[in-house]
Structure 1
Amino acid sequence: MCSIGGGTDIELEERVKGKTYKCRECGGHFKAVGKHPVCPSCQSEDVEPA
């Protein structure tokens, strides 16, 4: 369906549910969406689901 005009009233956080991960390098916890999450603190890809 196509719409013209303003955006929707749904916030991005309400539509997309991220998974919680733990970084194996710095120990930080964060939420991410996608197949290859990256730690926002140290930029490591060595993460696991928390």
Structure 2
Amino acid sequence: MCSTGGPMADVNLKKLKTKKYKCKKCGNTFKGIGKKVICPNCKSEDTKCLE
């Protein structure tokens, strides 16, 4: 079964470990996953992990 969105997507996202990041360019704070985190506000890759 293939699904995009809906209740199953929400369950899977809750199990992922996110970290809090801050963008060095625009100052936006957000949660992200992975090694190459991109700011959702300005699309900069110049971010800092706060955890």
**TM-score scaled by structure 2?**
0.73
Q: Which has the larger radius of gyration?
A: 1
Structure 2 gap segments, 5+ residues each: 2-7
Structure 1 gap segments, 5+ residues each: none
Partner SS, residue 20 of structure 1: strand
Structure 1 stretches of 4+ moved >4 Å: none
Identity of aligned residues (%): 40
Equivalent residue pairs, number: 43
Higher helix share: 2
Say what the alpha-carbon RMSD is for the aligned residues.
1.7
